Amino acid sequence: MDRLFSTLNDITVKAETECGKHGEDLLCVYQRQALQNYASLPLPDPREKSWSRLAAREFPEGVYPLAGKPKVDYRAGAIKNDNDFSGRIEIHENAIEIWLSESAAQKGMVLSDLEGAFNKHAHILEMMKTGCTGTGNDKLAAFTAGASQHGFLLYVPENARIDLPLEITGGPQTENSVLPVSGFIVLGEGASLTILSKQYSSNQSAKISVATLNLRYYLGALADLRVLEIQKLDKNAWNFVDEEVRLGRQAKLEYLILDKGSALLRRRLDVVLEESGGSANITGIYTPGSKQDFVYDTQQNHLASNTASDLLFGGVIKGDAYSLWKGNIYVAEGTRGADGFQRNQNLLLDEEAHAESIPGLEIIADDVRCTHAVTLSNVDEEQLFFLQSRGIEKEEAEQLIVNGFLESVTARIGDRFIQERMRAELN
């Protein structure tokens, strides 16, 4: 871990020097603040549970340059044979491609690169409130905010209902690269949108890439957001994801995560129900195989009355893979009617596979209903015997059991488009 942060330290020094050339440019002001925060924060404690496994992995020696300033290609209007999406953002080391459909543009949707977000649409970022653009006390999130030259702003204005989903794709495509990306998603009051997001990479060599991603969402009153986020980076990537979603009055969130790739993944998800009536349904599916370590830290924060959150993370662990899920439900003092639930389910396919779960409740109110549950199991031998007795080969029988486990998780997804996409990815 020391070698990883030594690499990031070198990058932040160069990034701060570069920002100094741009005076009071709003993006650079934001980045300098983030870099100062990064420098002031201590290294993560390797004894802390969510960092201990990561600290045990040795970051390979080498030169890891920061991805340079990308070329931005913006296109608006109709594109031949692209009737499935309202817009698209594609992010790689050298380029950011942004496309927005005519119908979405007519409804006032805004898509912008990072520089345009701060220097042309600062009034939209101000809608997010301070907490949603910050990095808190997470050192890696501060690094991403300070060092990133890649990112985007997505805005759906008040009462605009976007019928077709929006696609966000990207990831490192070259070896020995560091690609930090910052994304800001804002839905105005009564707005509605579906997002399909994919992290992927084409680097299939033995070299390492580092992909860090900050996503900051703000949902105005009565807004409705549905997200499917898929991570399929190659098996040599180190991936760090920091997400925060803040929900206004009676806003609704359905968030689904599928993690399959990367050698190492650390994902932090913070859902903040900050006004009355907000609700969040969060589902995570992860399928690590040999030599993959996945670590999750989820927070469900009920800061207002009559809010609801329901979280289920389910994992299928193969080979010598490792997973850790650590979750917490917080209910603020003075609130009433909070309803929070969290559950972690793991299916271990091999003796070397290892999974840990650490649920937590922090309740400073009386009128609440908050619970948690954890299950850890191996392939059921009786089910396996039953299927084999019907003439099904052992390998196929095991796959049927795994499919049943995954289906029990995906069945809770309400949005049909997201559910179908998830099933296609799992198949």
> Do 308 and 280 form a contact (C-beta atoms < 8 A)?
yes
Q: Would you place residue 339 in the very low, low, confident or very high pLDDT band (cuts 50, 70, 90)?
A: very high
Lowest-pLDDT choice from 24-28, 309-313, 370-374: 24-28
Q: Please check whether residue 58 lies inside any domain of the structure.
A: yes
Res 375: pLDDT? 81
Task: Identify whether residues 258 and 351 lie together within a single domain.
Answer: no
Output the CA–CA distances (angstroms, integers) from residue 213 to 10, 61, 330, 349, 354, in the order listed: 19, 22, 25, 30, 26
Q: Please check whether residue 254 lies inside any domain of the structure.
A: yes
Task: Identify whether residues 186 and 40 lie together within a single domain.
Answer: yes
Task: Identify whether residues 232 and 290 lie together within a single domain.
Answer: no
Task: Give residue 369's domain range.
Answer: 276-376
> Do 224 and 192 form a contact (C-beta atoms < 8 A)?
yes
Largest CA distance in the chain: 73
Q: Please check whether residue 24 lies inside any domain of the structure.
A: yes
Task: Identify whether residues 70 and 181 lie together within a single domain.
Answer: yes
In this prediction, residues 150-162 reach a mean pLDDT of 96
- Does this model's pTM top 0.85? My answer is yes
Task: Identify whether residues 257 and 362 lie together within a single domain.
Answer: no
Residue corresponding to tokens 């580092």: 210
Neighbours of 241 (CB within 10 A): 25
Read off φ and ψ for residue 64, nearest 5 degrees: -125, 90
> Do 288 and 321 form a contact (C-beta atoms < 8 A)?
yes
Of the three residues 361, 376, 391, the one that is the final residue of a domain is 376
Task: Identify whether residues 31 and 115 lie together within a single domain.
Answer: yes
Under DSSP, the state recorded for 105 is H
Q: How many helices (H) and strands (E) does the chain have?
A: 11, 21
SS3 for 420? helix
Report residue 393 as tokens.
């080969």
Q: Please check whether residue 418 lies inside any domain of the structure.
A: no
Total domains present in the chain:
2
The DSSP bridge partners found for residue 285 are 258, 314
SS3 for 29? helix
Task: Identify whether residues 224 and 116 lie together within a single domain.
Answer: yes
To the nearest 10 degrees (0 to 180), the angle between helices 2-19 and 139-147 is 40
Q: Would you place residue 134 in the very low, low, confident or very high pLDDT band (cuts 50, 70, 90)?
A: low
HSE-up of 357 (CA within 13 Å, CB side)? 17
Res 82: pLDDT? 67
Task: Identify whether residues 258 and 296 lie together within a single domain.
Answer: no
Q: Cα dihedral sign for 232, 196, 256, 253?
A: positive
Q: Would you place residue 378 in the very low, low, confident or very high pLDDT band (cuts 50, 70, 90)?
A: confident
> Do 112 and 152 form a contact (C-beta atoms < 8 A)?
yes
Task: Output b/e per residue, 158-177; b: 16+ Cβ within 10 A.
Answer: eebebebbbbbbbbbbbbbb
Give, for 33, the enclosing helix (H) or strand (E). helix 26-40
Residue corresponding to tokens 């993370």: 313
Question: Would the pLDDT of 254 be above 90?
Answer: yes
Q: Please check whether residue 389 lies inside any domain of the structure.
A: no
Residue range 47-61, pLDDT digits in tens: 888 888 888 888 888
Q: Would you place residue 388 in the very low, low, confident or very high pLDDT band (cuts 50, 70, 90)?
A: low
Question: Which burial class, exposed, middle or buried, applies to 367 when counting CB atoms under 10 A from its CB (0-12, 13-18, 19+)?
Answer: exposed
Q: From CA 396, how far away is CA 323, in angstroms rounded?
A: 25
Task: Identify whether residues 236 and 296 lie together within a single domain.
Answer: no
Q: Cα dihedral sign for 234, 235, 240, 242?
A: positive
Q: From CA 305, how far away is CA 326, in angstroms rounded?
A: 25
Neighbours of 210 (CB within 10 A): 23
Q: Please check whether residue 223 lies inside any domain of the structure.
A: yes
Report residue 92 as tokens.
């790689």
Q: Please check whether residue 402 lies inside any domain of the structure.
A: no
Q: What is the mean pLDDT of the chain?
A: 88
Residue range 118-129, pLDDT digits in tens: 989 999 998 886
SS3 for 266? strand
Task: Identify whether residues 22 and 131 lie together within a single domain.
Answer: yes
Task: Identify whether residues 150 and 27 lie together within a single domain.
Answer: yes
Task: Identify whether residues 166 and 250 lie together within a single domain.
Answer: yes
